[in-house]
Structure 1
Amino acid sequence: MGLTSQLDNDPKTYGEAMSDIDSDKWLEAMKFKMDSMGSNQVWTLVDPPKGARPVGCKWVYKRKLGADGEVTAFKARLVAKGYTQRPGVDFEETYSPVAMAKSIRILLAIAAWYDHEIWQMNVKTAFLNGFVEEEIFMDQPEGFTAVGEE
């Protein structure tokens, strides 16, 4: 019996992605994400008010592999550096609606019992459609800084 391990060779930074052999694929993935955010009107480019502390952001990269181990897709996600925010100063509460594993198992068991079909869907821009009441200021993403708006 043998064990194999795949090293995590996905870029950790924008610079690594741009110097990677697949830099064109990473750039395409980032452009897709930026286009999605633009079409969903995720943000408006503004100068932050005096005293505001913009949240930083960074790109997270992932090669998606098929069952045969071959790369099927290049994914780039833009994430806020929330760890730089201070509780009670930069935010009051956090919430992420996630189903408990136990609830999913119960749903699947009931569906199996009644011989119902279960369908799974993926909404690529689901997290871009939420509403935020507060104004949040974020730095522009690396590689996509508007000229003259640095």
Structure 2
Amino acid sequence: MNAKIKALELNDTWILIDMPQHKNVIGCKWVYKIKHISDGSVERHKARLVAKGYIQVEGQDYLDTFSPVAKLTRMRFLLALAAINKGYLKQLDVNNAFLHGDLNE
């Protein structure tokens, strides 16, 4: 949790402003999860700060929704392309990637 808070602060994730009229305040909460290795032992403890977006009103607090999810057909294509060209694939996890998007809401 401390690592997540530190990353949010280092990225200047938020600034304190006066709340616009006719807007709802969206709260947040921490979600905790224990990641296990295949043998059952604990690999690490994870913490995520999530917005309580379910209190938002469509058309008032937001207009569009977007979920960046990779499609299975595209993943198959990339795997096939790498196999044909004898390439190497690596997996990575990007922390705080969503924080630098420009939003009008």
Q: Taking structure 1 as the reference length, what is the TM-score of the superposition?
A: 0.63
Count of residue pairs the alignment pairs up: 105
How far apart, CA to CA, are the structure 2 residues paired with 1:133 and 1:86? 15
Does the residue aligned with 1:59 lie in a helix, a strand or coil? Answer: strand
1 or 2 for the larger relative contact order (CA 8 Å, sep ≥6)? 1
Tell me, yes or no, if structure 1 residue 79 matches structure 2 residue 50: yes
1:55, distance to aligned residue in structure 2 (A): 0.7
Report which of the two structures shows the higher radius of gyration computed on alpha carbons.
1
1:97 aligns with: 68
Q: 1:52 to 1:77 in 2, by over 3 A?
A: same
For structure 2, the residue ranges without an aligned partner over 5 or more in a row are none
Flag structure 1 segments of 5+ consecutive residues without an equivalent.
Answer: 1-29, 135-150
Q: CA offsets per residue over residues 2-58 of structure 1, 9 Å max, x none?
A: xxxxxxxxxxxxxxxxxxxxxxxxxxxx22111111111110133424543111211
Counterpart residue number, 1:129: 100
User: Partners in 1 of 2:22 and 2:75 — Cα distance?
Assistant: 45
Code of the residue aligned with 1:85 in structure 2: it is: Q
**RMSD, aligned α-carbons:** 1.6
Counterpart in the other structure of 1:57: 28
Task: Return the alpha-carbon distance in structure 2 between the equivalents of residues 60 and 113 of structure 1.
Answer: 41
Identity across the alignment (%): 46
Aligned residue for 2:17? 46
Counterpart CA distance in 1 for 2:21 and 2:87 is 57
| Counterpart amino acid of residue 54 in structure 2 | Y
Contact 2:23/2:60 (8 A) holds in 1: no
The TM-score, its normalising length taken from structure 2, stands at 0.87
Amino acid at match of 2:25: P
Instruction: Tell me the distance in 2 between the aligned counterparts of 1:125 and 1:91.
Output: 21
The CA deviation at 1:130 is: 2.2
Structure (1 or 2) with the greater strand fraction: 2
